């Protein structure tokens, strides 16, 4: 299938915006401010400014330093940064630094969404599109951009999430691998539904086909008003979340549809997928996307 040159440029730009390839220097500026804050709060002499500078002087010096960061960003550093962004890695490989991106999945997994949806459109696979575990909504926003570009907005886009962070899991694999990943420990992973809606609005992507399904997966997915799915994308991290989503939704995936597992590279998620596939004799080849993601097409 083909789209106009205008829509092609739009999708390429949208992809860059969602994973923050456009303003990489913002992340360097954030690191600089964090380092400076740590220096001053630990009663150490700031590395960049005079220790006894007045507030106005300090403000001006900070502004000058931040403006100069882009000039200090060498082409080699930018290329290295972009290479890391292929797999969704942020500065210092620290999730807490993922402030400006709408998604942490990186370029390879973002492009995998396009690969799957284009084949769904081409082959007229029936069903809606869904992501379980949406964080700031970036991957789902890209799905909606693709639905718009290919005029497929008659399909619903479902966003399933607690919008309260990652749940506490009782599964031994989750406990031993992750420890405590609750909102109390990682508040930056707990993005409420109104924030996600605002992100969609900001990029003119909030249409009537966008549906929010709030709640824990084991309570909401099985009774969700969904009859068919063409694309099911799981980004729940945990064993329990992954298994609950597959158990409730895989039977609704149409023949020719795709299942994407964002966290297959993480041991608990991989164990849940492998157990479900074995339990239901799923032999469709599982394709690796990058160090984390994987997908398969339902026969």
Cα–Cα distance for residue pair 80/15, rounded to 1 Å: 18
- For residue 6, tell me if it sits in a domain: no
- Are the C-beta atoms of 269 and 263 separated by less than 8 Å? yes
pLDDT of 3 strictly over 90: yes
Examine the domain organization and report whether 182 and 237 are in the same domain: yes
**Strand 294-297 with 253-261, pairing:** antiparallel
- What pLDDT was estimated at residue 114? 98
- For residue 178, tell me if it sits in a domain: yes
Examine the domain organization and report whether 271 and 145 are in the same domain: yes
Examine the domain organization and report whether 115 and 92 are in the same domain: no
Q: Which residues of 211-234 are buried (b: 16+ CB within 10 A; e: fewer)?
A: ebbeeebeebbeebebeebbbbbb
Examine the domain organization and report whether 153 and 242 are in the same domain: yes
Q: Helix H segments across 135-185?
A: 138-149, 172-178
- Give the residue, 31 or 267, on which the prediction is more confident: 267
Which of the listed ranges 71-80, 83-92, 172-181, 230-239 does the model predict with the highest average pLDDT?
230-239
Q: List all residues 6 or more positions away from 92 whose beta carbon is below 8 Å from its beta carbon.
A: 31
Examine the domain organization and report whether 195 and 246 are in the same domain: yes
Tens digit of pLDDT for each residue in 106-124?
999 999 999 999 999 999 9
Examine the domain organization and report whether 38 and 60 are in the same domain: yes
Tens digit of pLDDT for each residue in 167-204?
888 899 998 998 888 787 888 889 999 999 999 999 99
Any idea what the CATH number is for the domain that residue 145 is in?
3.40.50.150
- What pLDDT was estimated at residue 52? 52
- For residue 86, tell me if it sits in a domain: yes
- Give the residue, 261 or 1, on which the prediction is more confident: 261
pLDDT of 54 strictly over 70: no
Tens digit of pLDDT for each residue in 253-295?
999 999 999 999 999 999 999 999 999 999 999 999 999 999 9
Cα–Cα distance for residue pair 18/143, rounded to 1 Å: 11
Cα–Cα distance for residue pair 69/64, rounded to 1 Å: 9
pLDDT bin (cut points 50, 70, 90) of residue 76 is confident
Q: What is the CA radius of gyration of the chain?
A: 21
**Strand 253-261 with 229-234, pairing:** parallel
Domain extent at residue 24: 20-97
Mean pLDDT computed over 37-50: 54
- Give the residue, 53 or 136, on which the prediction is more confident: 136
Cα–Cα distance for residue pair 31/105, rounded to 1 Å: 21
Eight-state DSSP code of residue 47: S
Cα–Cα distance for residue pair 201/61, rounded to 1 Å: 35
- What pLDDT was estimated at residue 58? 65
pLDDT bin (cut points 50, 70, 90) of residue 38 is low
Which of these ranges, 45-49, 127-131, 202-206, 222-226, has the smallest mean pLDDT? 45-49
Residue 185, classed as helix, strand or coil, is coil
- What pLDDT was estimated at residue 112? 98
Mean pLDDT computed over 143-150: 98
Q: 182: number of CA atoms within 13 Å, CB side?
A: 6
Q: List all residues 6 or more positions away from 30 whose beta carbon is below 8 Å from its beta carbon.
A: 91, 97, 99, 100
- Give the residue, 191 or 31, on which the prediction is more confident: 191
- Of 46, 66, 97, the residue at which a domain comes to its end is 97
- What pLDDT was estimated at residue 49? 45
Examine the domain organization and report whether 93 and 194 are in the same domain: no
Examine the domain organization and report whether 247 and 147 are in the same domain: yes
pLDDT of 142 strictly over 50: yes
pLDDT bin (cut points 50, 70, 90) of residue 64 is confident
- Are the C-beta atoms of 243 and 237 separated by less than 8 Å? no
Number of domains in the chain: 2
Examine the domain organization and report whether 202 and 291 are in the same domain: yes
- Of 38, 62, 97, the residue at which a domain comes to its end is 97
Examine the domain organization and report whether 119 and 92 are in the same domain: no
pLDDT of 48 strictly over 80: no
pLDDT exceeding 70 applies to what percent of the chain?
87
Eight-state DSSP code of residue 251: G
- What pLDDT was estimated at residue 25? 74
- For residue 13, tell me if it sits in a domain: no
Examine the domain organization and report whether 75 and 32 are in the same domain: yes
Eight-state DSSP code of residue 89: -
Structure pTM? Answer: 0.88
- Give the residue, 125 or 101, on which the prediction is more confident: 125
- What pLDDT was estimated at residue 189? 87
Mean predicted lDDT score pLDDT of the chain: 89
């Amino acid at each position: 299938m083909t789209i106009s040159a205008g829509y092609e440029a739009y999708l390429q730009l949208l992809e860059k915006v969602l994973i923050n390839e456009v303003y990489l220097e913002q992340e360097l500026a954030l690191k600089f401010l964090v380092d400076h804050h740590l220096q001053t709060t630990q009663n150490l002499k700031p590395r960049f400014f005079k220790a006894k500078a007045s507030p106005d002087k300090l403000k001006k010096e900070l502004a000058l330093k931040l403006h100069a960061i882009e000039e200090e960003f060498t082409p080699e550093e930018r290329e290295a940064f972009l290479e890391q962004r292929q797999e969704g890695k942020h500065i210092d490989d620290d999730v807490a630094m993922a402030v400006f991106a709408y998604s942490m999945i990186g370029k390879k997994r973002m492009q995998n969404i396009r690969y799957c949806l284009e084949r769904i459109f081409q082959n007229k696979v029936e069903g809606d599109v869904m992501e379980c575990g949406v964080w700031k909504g970036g991957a789902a926003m890209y799905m909606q951009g693709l639905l718009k570009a290919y005029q497929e907005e008659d399909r619903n886009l479902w966003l399933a999430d607690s919008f309260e962070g990652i749940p506490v899991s009782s599964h031994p694999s989750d406990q031993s691998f992750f420890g405590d990943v609750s909102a109390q420990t990682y508040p930056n992973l707990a993005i409420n539904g109104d924030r996600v809606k605002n992100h969609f609005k900001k990029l003119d992507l909030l249409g009537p086909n966008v549906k929010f399904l709030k709640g824990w997966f084991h309570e909401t997915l099985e009774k969700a008003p969904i009859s068919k799915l063409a694309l099911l994308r799981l980004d729940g991290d945990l064993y329990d979340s992954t298994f609950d989503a597959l158990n409730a939704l895989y039977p609704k995936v149409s023949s020719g549809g795709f299942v994407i597992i964002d966290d297959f590279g993480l041991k608990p998620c991989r164990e849940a997928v492998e157990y479900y596939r074995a339990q239901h004799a799923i032999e469709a080849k599982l394709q690796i996307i990058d160090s984390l993601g994987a997908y398969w097409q339902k026969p």
